[in-house]
């Protein structure tokens, strides 16, 4: 199977197809072989290619049962995406990584320590969160679900993560590392342990690492994390609408949107423009104008707002909420992406992490429309997008 980053010849109708699949889901017979269930994200993520374009798509949530899209064999015995009886595009399922067959000396399977998300190695280094099962629990999150199911371990040790990073790079061609953590009540919010893990993985494998954590009480923690050899950082506000944020993530609302801007300002000072990102989740009741305004302000600061449609996690507090439709998501992309690219920031500037991978978002697909301002050799798979009136 071709690796992410190869650029196939793309059909004009492929963009609308993929956008609709990421909104409505893809029905797959053997879900467990293709998806990540639970965790901090990407959850319920079927990792496949559609006509050579690598994406993740919902496959396990209840709403997917109503999707018109199926992944099954065609008359030639090849996998393809069907809409009803109509064959839409050839498809492939991401191969099971070779390093999943290995275990540590003390018997922990590598796949319980870190997972391969297409070409990015990812791990939640502490799989518990101080907010879980309290009134403060983030409604979109499923961090402890994979722990409850036995698919991971509560905390990963730096030496084990380093061992897995080397194997993932050598056996499966991993190109970067994405690390996140459940929050703690300590003043660093868990960032320093995350940094220790990232440092061990980078030192062992040489791969660039993105670390994702909440704004620490002491912003000097951001400098300390940077000094551990981390390449990029994700500090995720989730929504620029304060009413929505208070509803879906009370601890983040207490930090406040201005608190996030303060943390980003420090992070850009030490990591540089284009190496700091924030998730912006669409479809949770947010005001679209506040969303665009917040994204543009973040861009002005040098922050990449990584916009994604909500992917309801089965078992989370938002499991019954439907994803936003593709038209709404696209309308936000079209208001933000030109501003982003004009500022000289894009998926090609991010050295590691979710904003580099892009498989859960459509942002890089829209960047191509303004790519005259971007490097011609950024080597990313791009798909055509539909127009919006």
Q: Is the pTM of this model over 0.75?
A: yes
User: For position 40, what pLDDT does the model report?
Assistant: 52
pLDDT in tens, 78-120: 999 999 999 999 999 888 999 999 999 999 999 999 999 889 9
Read out DSSP for 80-145?
A: EEEETTEEEEEEEEPPPPGGGG-B-TTS-BGGGT-EEETTEEEEESB---TTTTSTT--TT-BTTH
User: Model confidence over 282-341: pLDDT tens digits?
Assistant: 999 999 999 999 999 999 999 999 999 998 888 899 989 999 998 999 899 999 999 999
Burial class (CB in 10 A: 0-12, 13-18, 19+), 150: exposed
The structural domains of the chain, ordered by start, are 14-93 (no CATH), 98-373 (3.20.20.70)
Residue-wise pLDDT tens digits, 29-46: 654 444 545 455 445 667
pLDDT at 257 over 80: yes
Greatest alpha-carbon span in the chain: 60
- H or E element that contains 71: strand 69-73
Mean pLDDT of the chain: 87
pLDDT of 120-140, one tens digit each?
Answer: 999 999 999 999 999 999 999
Q: What tokens does 91 get? A: 């498809």
Instruction: Say which range, 162-176, 294-308, 357-371, has the weakest mean pLDDT.
Output: 357-371
- At 306, which helix (H) or strand (E)? strand 303-309
Q: What would the two tokens of residue 9 be? A: 């010849």
pLDDT of residue 45: 67
């Amino acid at each position: 199977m071709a690796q992410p980053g190869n650029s196939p010849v793309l059909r004009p109708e492929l963009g609308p197809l993929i956008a609709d699949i990421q909104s409505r889901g893809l029905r797959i017979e053997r879900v467990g072989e293709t998806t990540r269930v639970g965790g901090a994200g990407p959850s319920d993520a079927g990792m496949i290619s559609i006509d050579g374009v690598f994406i993740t798509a919902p496959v396990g949530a209840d709403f997917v049962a109503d999707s018109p899209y199926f992944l099954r064999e065609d008359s030639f015995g090849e996998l393809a995406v069907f809409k009803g009886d109509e064959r839409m595009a050839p498809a492939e399922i991401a191969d099971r990584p070779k390093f999943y067959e290995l275990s540590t000396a003390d018997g922990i399977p590598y796949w319980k320590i870190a997972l391969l998300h297409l070409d990015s190695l990812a791990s939640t280094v502490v799989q518990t969160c101080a907010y879980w099962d309290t009134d403060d629990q983030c409604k979109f999150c499923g961090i402890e679900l994979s722990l409850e199911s036995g698919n991971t371990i509560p905390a990963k040790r730096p030496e084990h993560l380093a061992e897995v990073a080397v194997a993932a790079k050598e056996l499966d061609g991993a190109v970067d590392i994405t690390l996140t953590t459940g929050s703690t009540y300590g003043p660093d919010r868990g960032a320093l342990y995350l940094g220790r893990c990232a440092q061990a993985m980078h030192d062992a494998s040489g791969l660039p690492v993105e670390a994702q954590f909440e704004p620490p009480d002491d912003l000097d923690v951001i400098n300390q994390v940077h000094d551990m050899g981390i390449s990029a950082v994700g500090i995720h506000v989730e929504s620029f609408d304060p009413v929505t944020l208070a509803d879906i993530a009370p601890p983040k609302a207490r930090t406040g949107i201005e608190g996030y801007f303060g943390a980003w300002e420090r992070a850009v000072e030490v990591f540089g423009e284009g190496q700091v990102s924030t998730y912006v989740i669409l479809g949770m009741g947010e005001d679209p104008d506040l969303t665009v305004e917040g994204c543009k302000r973040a861009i002005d600061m040098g922050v990449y707002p990584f916009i994604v449609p909500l992917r309801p996690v089965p078992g989370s507090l938002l499991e019954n909420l439907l994803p936003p439709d593709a038209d709404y998501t696209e309308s936000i992309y079209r208001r933000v992406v030109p501003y982003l690219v004009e500022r000289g920031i894009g998926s090609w500037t991010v050295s590691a992490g979710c904003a580099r991978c892009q498989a859960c978002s459509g942002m890089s697909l829209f960047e191509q429309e303004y790519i005259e301002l971007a490097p011609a050799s950024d080597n990313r798979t791009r798909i055509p997008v539909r127009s919006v009136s």
